[in-house]
Amino acid sequence: MCSIAGFAADFRDEKLIEEMNNTLSHRGDDDSGIYISEDKSKGFVHLSHNRLSILDISKDASQPFVSKCKNYVIVYNGEIYNFKEIRRELVKRGYKFVSNGDTEVLLYAYKEWGREALDRFIGMFAFCIFDRVKNILFLARDRAGVKPLYFFYDRGEFVFASEIKGILKYKNFKKAINRDVVPFYLRFGYIPSPFSIFEKLYKLPPSSFMIYNLEQKSYEISKYWDIFAFYKAKKFKEDEEKILKNLENLLIESIEYRMVSDVGVGVFLSGGYDSSTVAAILQSNRRERINTFSIGFQEKEYDESFFAREIARYLKTDHHEHVISKKELIDIALSLPFVYDEPFSDDSTIPTIALSKFTKKSVKVALSGDGGDEMFCGYSKYKALLAFSSVFSSNLKKEGLSFLSDKVSISFIKRVNSFLPERFRNRNIEDKFIKFKRALNSKNLTQMFINASSNADDSEIKKILNFEYDKDLVLEKSAFSRAKEIEDLDFLDFMMAIDYVTYLTDNSLVKVDRASMSVSLEAREPLIDHRLAEFMARVPVGLKYKNGEKKYLLKKIVYKYIPKEMLNRAKSGFTPPLLGWLRDDLNFLIDIYLSDTLLKDISIFNIEEVKKLKKALKNRERVNINLLWSVVVFAMWYDRWIRK
């Protein structure tokens, strides 16, 4: 796991590429290096790399890595888990290796098969290869988008890096905010591929490769894999028992592949189905105790470390547990603008960073359960939206349900929720009820799904922004625009497929990558192995969600390892007490970053509307905490990267 950065230019600037590289040193603190081409007639290619040594920790695998023939140079971030199999095939074809890791294998796989090498890789990656034979830069990103890759292009100047902060060091880059993406950010909490917060700076989309022609100074982007193709494919005809057996074998292989390492590996354990599945399968195949790690909150109603502790005790893992202190909470909150160098307001960033810091004290690599909801049908919204999708077949049904929801108060819903048995109780019922009402006020199923995934509706966003905007401009150019390609799918498959190419890629994986890499910890996500994704896309809907049971297949498997009663409880995700924090320990962020002075300088938000949110928070009235937090995070980012 590492960072990469580089640029192609008519000038040679060793100091500049070193500055770009040093800015990303948190992603790999074991080694670093730079490469600058020498052929002035073809322009200068600058490449840099910071290394977190995981596979072949010797100097033989240091980067930038230059092939023996000097015609190929690579900088690479990630892991190719099946590199040993690919290496054996390359050896048969006459290749000789000087290292024992995956970097050299990746480089020679490209030399042998070109773009088709990508089809062979099982792993997570973002890399750039300087191909001197074709005089091109070949860049690629893994299928799900685990590893990030940003690029800036303007009038023939081409720059790339693992994080935006690397590109900000480039001397000709101008920090012009892309206002078009701000409404989308306020709605969802993240900025979608291929956009970034800055004009002319983009994300290379997942499952894509880019060829930058050094002579013509132009680029072209192509897709090499598409999850939609598998959702559109014919469903499996095998019976449930056969599908379960195949799925379990895939799970075991995917998890075991992520144990390929020359350093210590642990597991993030929350006590939920996803991380418990990973830990259970790993521990069942080992005599030695695996290391598991969990985080807790001082606020007892939000603290679920007990569940992780119970699972760890049952599995007999070597469990490590940490409760976030007030000082740590404040320190991490203040670090958010640096860790996430564009506005990103997922409320679980703080505990994810805290967990990563705690885990890094013991190991260099940690497996997580991220992606399980998208893979196995785990989100509560799937169940709710399926239940109400039939209302769109009748205006009368839709109007009737909408009428009833308007008559039901949030306080009533919260009261009913409090009387439910604990395993059915929902901690964030208020937020879900608001999203449910928002979903009902939709024209069709696609819009219902998007509205149910939103943190704020159009009316709230229009009030909070002080400029006119096209609410659908970015939406129609993001992966959401592909919804029309799969509208004929079963609605459940439709929702899962869209979440895979939007929320998973641009929210969940961004959150974990930046949090873990901010402390030089490699996070691996076995549940989003592309073979698992392809398999689950072809599983009949009736087995993904059966008898009202989300994650039906995954549960059938994990209950072989862990008793059902230990896992069968209300799902809460990795939800922190954000509202309480902003009213108490983190209230100072409101005073500092939502001051009139800073808001005037930002000149994006309606100051009077922001004041209303602040007043509601202070008076303990109902407030859209997600919207308020998004504004706070934006202001913190602006203060760190634009104002200073």
Mind listing the pLDDT tens digit for each residue in 304-346? 788 999 999 999 999 999 999 999 999 999 999 999 999 999 9
Q: Cα–chain-centroid distance for residue 543?
A: 26
Let me know if 69 is a catalytic residue.
no
Q: For the chain, what is the mean pLDDT?
A: 90
The four Cα atoms 497, 502, 503, 507 give a dihedral, to 10 degrees, of 150
Q: Are 172 and 158 in contact (CB under 8 A)?
A: no
Q: Is residue 631 within 8 Å of 605, Cβ to Cβ? A: yes
Return the percentage of the chain with pLDDT > 90, whole number.
Answer: 76
CATH topology of domain 2-225: Glutamine Phosphoribosylpyrophosphate, subunit 1, domain 1 (3.60.20)
Residues of the chain with CATH 3.40.50.620: 235-376+495-567
**What contacts 256, CB < 8 A, 6 or more positions away?**
282, 285
Dihedral pair phi/psi, residue 567, rounded to 5°: -110, -25
Task: Dump pLDDT digits (tens) for 394-414.
Answer: 565 556 656 555 655 566 555
Do residues 327 and 173 touch, judged by C-beta distance below 8 A?
no
Q: Would you state the pLDDT for residue 353?
A: 97
With 0-12 CB in 10 A as exposed, 13-18 as middle and 19+ as buried, what is 313?
exposed
Q: What is the CATH number of domain 235-376+495-567?
A: 3.40.50.620
Q: Compute the average pLDDT of residues 186-196.
A: 97
Structure-block tokens of residue 137: 């830069």
Cα dihedral sign, 51-54-60-61: negative
- pLDDT at position 441: 74
Distance CA 53, CA 62 (A): 9
Q: Where in the chain is the domain with CATH 3.60.20.10?
A: 2-225
Please classify residue 250 by burial: count the beta carbons closer than 10 Å to its beta carbon, then call 0-12 exposed, 13-18 middle and 19+ buried.
middle
CA neighbours closer than 13 Å in the CB half-sphere of residue 641: 27
Sequence-distant (6+) residues with CB within 8 A of 273 are 369, 372, 378, 551, 554, 555, 558, 567
Range from 225-229, 294-298, 497-501 carrying the lowest mean pLDDT: 294-298
The residue length of the chain stands at: 644
In this predicted model, what pLDDT tens digit does every residue of 93-146 receive, in sequence order? 999 998 988 999 999 999 999 999 999 999 999 999 999 999 999 999 999 999
Output the CA torsion sign for 594, 600, 602, 603.
Answer: positive
